[in-house]
Structure 1
Amino acid sequence: MGSLVISNEDREGAEIIYGAEECYSHSVKMLEAVGFPKGVLPLRNLEECGWVQATGFVWMKQKEPYEHFFTGTNTRVRYDRVVTAYVEMKKMKKMTGVRSKQVLLWVPITEMSITDADAAKIYFKSAVGIGRSFPISAFVDEAEGQEEKKKLEVEVGA
């Protein structure tokens, strides 16, 4: 479970954003800047987020924990009130506050990365070192997916 307290030392030099819309926009920009699809962390009702670019430390605080079902991977993921990670290009490590339901257990996700040459898959690693990969297309932002669907309907004339 992610710590609810982020030390002043961790926050030093951070760009800190407050408010749901501003934090969501900031988190999407951060994900895109480090090469991840913007739907991979579908956090809602954010109160605060921050990014220390010098160390790569990021955090996102939500009003309450959030569960999301990714239909493209058939996976349920729980995001604690506070989610933290260290980010670098195509990698998030030392993640806290993210758990995936596997059979009957909630498994902490500690790392995600995009390592293949064609960047078609994203790899998730658990705290016990077991990992799984999924197509990046499964993490397209839902709003973005709806926009694409509407564009196709207009083009086809449906």
Structure 2
Amino acid sequence: MAEKEEAIVKKDHQDGMQMAVSFLEEFGLPLRLLPLADVIEVGFVRSTGYMWILQKKKFKHNFKMISKPMSFYTEITDYVEKKWIKKLKGVKAKELMLWPPVSQISVDDPPTIKIQFMSLAGIIKTFPVEAFAGGRG
């Protein structure tokens, strides 16, 4: 695949998690934004910001601080920029009875320090960035 040329790739859970977390930190995104499990591969192309994550199975995670269940598929792809994830695929967030796909995530600069999730359906939700900052929550 052409978009994966020149990629840095890690092929196991521990190395993949370390790489994913280091890129989240480098781009000013909360470290627990993607609570991954059983990672098979993580890749990143610095020239384009393209990142992909492969996991053994789909799973759901509830961010307790904001009572927000999210679903993470076996393949997650996106483009990362400073405080911004765009063209996100493989992540859904529960809204009422629906699970719309999350297509973009952005982090505001201080003083607000909020994080916004946007779906292709036009749904925008804003939360405190601390809900995704650390721990298992």
TM-score under structure 1 normalisation?
Answer: 0.83
Q: What is the alpha-carbon distance in structure 2 between the residues aligned to residue 48 and residue 85 of structure 1? A: 14
Per the TM alignment, residue 9 of structure 1 is displaced from its structure 2 partner at its CA by: 0.7
Residue identity over aligned pairs, in percent, reads: 34
> Which structure 2 residues correspond to residues 1-158 of structure 1 after superposition, within 5 A?
8-118=1-111, 120-142=113-135
Q: What is the alpha-carbon distance in structure 1 between the residues aligned to residue 61 and residue 111 of structure 2? A: 27
* RMSD of aligned residue pairs (Cα, Å): 1.3
Q: Structure 2: any 5+ residue segments left out of the alignment?
A: none
* AA aligned opposite 2:135: E
Deviations 1:40-61 (A, max 9, x none): 1111110001000100000000
Per the TM alignment, residue 37 of structure 1 is displaced from its structure 2 partner at its CA by: 1.1
Task: Look up the SS of the partner of 2:108 in the other structure.
Answer: coil
Which has more helix, going by share of residues? 1
TM-score under structure 2 normalisation?
Answer: 0.95
Q: What is the alpha-carbon distance in structure 2 between the residues aligned to residue 122 and residue 59 of structure 1? A: 21
* AA aligned opposite 1:26: M
The structure number with the bigger radius of gyration is 1
4+ long deviations beyond 4 Å: none
Deviates more, 1:29-38 or 1:115-124: 115-124
